[in-house]
Amino acid sequence: MVHARTRRSYRLNGIAVTACRPYTRGDIASFSSEWSTSACDSRMRLDWFQTLVPFRDHLGNDATRVLALICSDNERRALEEIASKCNWRLCLASTPLEAGKQLQEQTIGVILCDRDLPGNDWRNHIAYLLRSAPNSCVILVSGVNDEYLWEEVIRNGGYDVLTKPFQASQVVPAVTLAWSYWKQYALKR
């Protein structure tokens, strides 16, 4: 079993997927074979990731809830486009205080936090978000992604690192795996 919060990278039909949740190697092998044997376009592949662990809210609707604390309008638009294709419920915030208010009003499993937010250091932003929603998976959004930064994010309670500019082949697996982890483990605490 791959332990939670350890980083494992796999290739699914040429797309690198980094898993920070406890999938067994058999799960990854079955995902890989299903992925590579299906003759489908990229839209179907996005749907495939979406169906890993669907969530039903209190109204019975499937909803992957993502809060994006992003300062750039271009990145917001790119994320909105990806979220609309995946049928995610995307909430946008410009400041950590605005994000904190949204976290008090609704349950959100995945939070995307921009490294370049004005004000405090990104470590303080992650700490604030985790105090507001202790079980949420916080993914840092950064222009760089190296092992040192990833280890620092994990050490500060974050879940993973995504690079800017957003690409669906990176965002969809990262958010879906974080959502899956949150649904299976964080909600049971």
- H or E element that contains 162: strand 160-163
Higher-scoring residue by pLDDT: 133, 37 = 133
- Do 176 and 47 form a contact (C-beta atoms < 8 A)? no
- Do 116 and 140 form a contact (C-beta atoms < 8 A)? no
* pLDDT given at position 189: 62
Q: Which residue segment(s) compose the domain that 151 sits in?
A: 8-188
Q: Report residue 102: phi and psi, to 5°.
A: -65, -35
CATH number of the domain to which 39 belongs: 3.40.50.2300
Report the alpha-carbon distance of residue 26 to residue 7 in Å, rounded.
Answer: 17
* pLDDT given at position 145: 86
Residue 57 has pLDDT above 80, yes or no: no
Q: What is the secondary structure of 83-110 as a DSSP string?
A: HHHHTEEEEEESSHHHHHHHHHHS--SE
Please report which confidence band the pLDDT of residue 46 belongs to, taking 50, 70 and 90 as the band edges.
very low
> What are the tens digits of pLDDT across the range 126-167?
999 999 998 899 999 999 988 999 999 999 999 999 999 999
Residue 28 included in any domain: yes
Residue 137 included in any domain: yes
> What are the tens digits of pLDDT across the range 7-33?
445 444 344 444 444 443 344 444 444
> What are the angstrom distances between the C-alpha of 162 and each of 8, 33, 74, 122, 141?
15, 25, 16, 14, 5
- Rounded mean pLDDT of the chain? 76
Residue 167 included in any domain: yes
* pLDDT given at position 119: 84
pTM for the full predicted model:
0.69
User: How many structural domains compose the chain?
Assistant: 1
Across the range 89-93, mean pLDDT stands at 94
Residue 110 included in any domain: yes
Residue 1 included in any domain: no
Residue 102 included in any domain: yes
